[in-house]
Structure formats: structure tokens, C-alpha cells
Amino acid sequence: MGMFKEIFSWWGGNTWGTRLYVWRKMRFVGEDALGNRYYVQKSGTGPVGKPRRFVTYKSGAEASKVPPEWHGWLHYTVDTPPTEETYEAKPWQQPHRPNMTGTSEAYRPDGSILTPAKRPHGTGDYKAWRPE
């Protein structure tokens, strides 16, 4: 089942087609602590007029697994990949935590139908907009 799943299931990670595309068109830039690998287009430009940047995930395609330093590089916020500079995490940055939606650890604010806590009363500071 492993070989069949690898050939045909795009949701489980990188398919053979993705690996072939990366091998032909991309240049390896670096790898993060989670094992995700980052690439940049070898030649030409992508849809935004710059060389395309690409990530292959170690396990399961989950965009929240991209660390902040690599996220900035992937989205053209910074030009230098973290492997070519000394990146220091900001004090407010936290380690990766997967999306907890649908689990018992999901965020449930007071007043949610899934929590016993009551919704806090309004403070009276809201005034509805009326067209004049």
C-alpha cells in the first residue's frame, strides 16, 4: 500500500510528480528544524515576476508547519533565506503548534455552544451604524 499511496495521494506529502518537478526546475535552498525543504526556481520567473519559491513538507502538507523565518522568505518579505543569515526569533514567537480545530483542544470562547461558560454581557460601548 505504501508505494501505491505515494504515487497517487497528493494529500499525504510529495508525489512523484512533485519530486520530478522540483528536481528539474528548482534549486535547493535549505531545510528547517521540522524537516521541510525549501527551493527556488533555477531560471525564469514565476507569476509575480520573481523566481518562484517552493516548500516540500516532511510529513503532510500543512502550511502552519512553516516556521516564521521561512515564511518571510517564501512570501518575498525578505530576500535572504534564513540559511544565509543569522536569524534570531523574536521574544513573542512561539514554537509550532498544529491547528487544533476539531479536537478537544480547539479554541472555544465564552458563549460558544461547545463550552459551559456564559457569554459576557455587552459593555454598552457599541453603537449601531445608521445611514443618514
Question: What is the tens place of the pLDDT at every residue in 68-106?
Answer: 889 889 999 988 898 888 878 888 888 777 888 888 888
Identify residue 39 by its one-letter amino acid code. Answer: Y
Picking from 83, 2, 99, the residue whose alpha carbon sits closest to that of residue 36 is 83
Q: How confident is the model at residue 59 (pLDDT cuts 50, 70, 90)?
A: confident
Q: What's the CA gap between 67 and 75, in Å, rounded?
A: 12
| Residue 60 near residue 12 (C-beta atoms within 8 A) | yes
Residue ranges covered by each domain of the chain: 2-84
pLDDT, tens digit (0-9, with 9 covering 90-100), for 8-57? 665 556 777 778 888 888 899 999 988 999 999 988 887 788 899 989 88
Write down the H helix ranges in 9-114: 16-25, 68-74
Three cell numbers at 117? Answer: 461558560
